[in-house]
């Protein structure tokens, strides 16, 4: 597919203090799009010049109060404001670096199949990634593409609804039909929409040949905080686990894969595998019980702290 398909899409990137990685991502995006005005950067009052980087790149910039940021609502509002008359919306996070000039068009090529409602690309670890973050990216984003339907829930379990707005695209007709992004979730608005699409008869496409560089060097504490948020999200979307099953099986597969990965490359890190995954699982279980916890404790345990400023338990 040629670049003309990009004229039918709007690219939306939320940014807050993206630093050097955002500069790298903005430069790569500018090379990949013939018209930079199709890129909309939603900047949450960055203090490091991230908004200036976006403006200098020729992107549209919308500035918002960071206290109003919400994973689902902020993206939904951007789609409603900037995607009028467009067929597709492409979403990235500010630390996702498109890997090649045709990454975007290859992702959008998924929609040549009229049954595909949403598609997401492969996330490779950053070139300077450490072993734990590299393994996470390689485990979650394998080299083989696939198209999933609701019927794949029996084979893949919760992995059938796996999705990521770090690099994703939506057919806007399907997106709106399924209700768009919710604003009540702590995170996981992408998995929610993928679930709704699958349950509505749409297909979800994983495009392994549309890569970006995206990974996180989380500390053990940060990993635990993120998994607390996953636990909260799974409690907030009971139909996800009811229809697609428990995440424990996929979690076990991840741990075994990580053990093998570290054994081959850095066996001295094996104790870290045990510690990290014990912390993640414990935090996840706490997140599942968040309605029984004090609000202040939820805020301390969570990575998405701003969420708790407005949420009654």
Domain chopping of the chain, boundaries: 3-213, 220-309
- pLDDT of 91 > 60? The answer is yes
By the 10 Å C-beta count (0-12 exposed, 13-18 middle, 19+ buried), 85 is classed as exposed
Can you tell me which residue has the tokens 């990965």?
A: 261
- The mean per-residue pLDDT over the stretch 115-142 comes to 97
- Please provide residue 84's backbone torsions phi and psi, each rounded to the nearest 5 degrees: -60, 125
pLDDT of residue 4: 82
Contact 117, 221 (CB under 8 A): no
What confidence tens digit (pLDDT) does each residue in 219-229 have? 999 999 999 99
- The mean per-residue pLDDT over the stretch 13-25 comes to 97
Q: At a CB cut-off of 8 Å and minimum separation 6, what does 284 contact?
A: 227, 228, 230, 231
Both tokens assigned to 290: 């968040």
- pLDDT of 313 > 50? The answer is no
Q: At a CB cut-off of 8 Å and minimum separation 6, what does 109 contact?
A: 1, 5, 207
- The mean per-residue pLDDT over the stretch 173-181 comes to 97
pLDDT of residue 309: 84
User: What pTM was computed for the model?
Assistant: 0.94
- pLDDT of 123 > 70? The answer is yes
Both tokens assigned to 115: 């049954």
- pLDDT of 311 > 60? The answer is no
Can you tell me which residue has the tokens 């806007």?
A: 172
Enclosing H/E stretch for 297? helix 295-301
Instruction: Name which CATH class applies to 3-213.
Output: alpha beta
Contact 208, 120 (CB under 8 A): no
Contact 214, 93 (CB under 8 A): yes
**pLDDT bucket at 3, cuts 50 / 70 / 90:** confident
pLDDT of residue 297: 96
Q: Distance between CA 265 and CA 238 in Å, rounded?
A: 38
- pLDDT of 73 > 60? The answer is yes
Contact 71, 186 (CB under 8 A): yes
What confidence tens digit (pLDDT) does each residue in 188-236 have? 999 999 999 999 999 999 999 999 999 999 999 999 999 999 999 999 9
């Amino acid at each position: 597919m040629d670049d003309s398909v990009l004229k039918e899409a709007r690219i939306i990137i939320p940014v807050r203090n993206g630093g050097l990685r955002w500069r790298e991502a903005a430069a790569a995006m500018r090379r990949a799009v013939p018209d930079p005005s199709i890129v909309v950067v939603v900047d949450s009052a960055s203090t490091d010049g991230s908004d200036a980087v976006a403006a200098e790149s020729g992107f549209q910039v919308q500035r918002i109060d960071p206290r109003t940021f919400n994973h689902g609502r902020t993206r939904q509002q951007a789609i409603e404001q900037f995607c009028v008359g467009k067929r597709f919306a492409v979403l990235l996070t500010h630390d996702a670096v498109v890997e090649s000039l045709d990454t975007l068009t290859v992702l959008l090529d998924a929609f040549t199949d009229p049954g595909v409602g949403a598609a997401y690309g492969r996330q490779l670890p950053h070139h300077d990634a450490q072993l734990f973050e590299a393994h996470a990216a390689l485990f979650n984003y394998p080299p083989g593409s696939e198209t999933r339907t609701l019927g794949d829930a029996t084979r893949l379990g919760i992995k059938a609804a796996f999705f990521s707005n770090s690099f994703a695209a939506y057919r806007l007709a399907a997106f709106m039909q399924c209700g768009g992004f919710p604003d009540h979730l702590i995170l996981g608005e992408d998995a929610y929409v993928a679930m709704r699409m699958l349950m509505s008869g749409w297909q979800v496409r994983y495009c392994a040949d549309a890569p970006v560089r995206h990974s996180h060097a989380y500390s053990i504490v940060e990993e635990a905080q993120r998994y607390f948020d996953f636990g909260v999200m799974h409690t907030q979307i009971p139909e996800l686990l009811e229809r697609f099953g428990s995440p424990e099986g996929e979690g076990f597969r991840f741990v075994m894969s990580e053990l093998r990965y570290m054994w081959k490359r850095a066996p001295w890190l094996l104790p870290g595998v045990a510690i990290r995954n014990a912390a993640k699982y414990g935090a996840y279980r706490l997140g599942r019980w968040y309605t029984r916890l004090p609000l202040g404790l939820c805020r301390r345990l969570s990575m998405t702290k701003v969420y708790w400023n407005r949420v009654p338990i």
